[in-house]
Amino acid sequence: MFKKIGDWYRAQSYTTKALIWIGIICIIGIAFRWHAIIEGVTKGFNFYSGK
């Protein structure tokens, strides 16, 4: 399985490889800041619902 993924990754262009890494970094960042993100979304919904 890892060999298949590795072969697929090596076949990608440099731009696609960069976008894959940026996506992974964004997902990791979201995972670390999940509590703050949910808190902000909750504040936004509470603001518009008048709470």
Residue 40 lies in a domain: yes
Residue 34 lies in a domain: yes
**Residue-level pLDDT at 39:** 93
Per residue in 21-37, pLDDT tens? 999 999 999 999 999 99
Q: Determine the structural domain holding residue 23 and report its residue range.
A: 16-51
* Domain count across the chain: 1
pLDDT at 10 over 90: yes
Residue 1 lies in a domain: no
Which residues, including other chains, have CB under 8 Å from residue 42's CB and lie 6 or more apart?
none
What is the spatial distance between Cα 46 and Cα 18, in angstroms, rounded to a whole number?
38
pLDDT at 50 over 90: no
Q: Is the pTM of this model over 0.95?
A: no
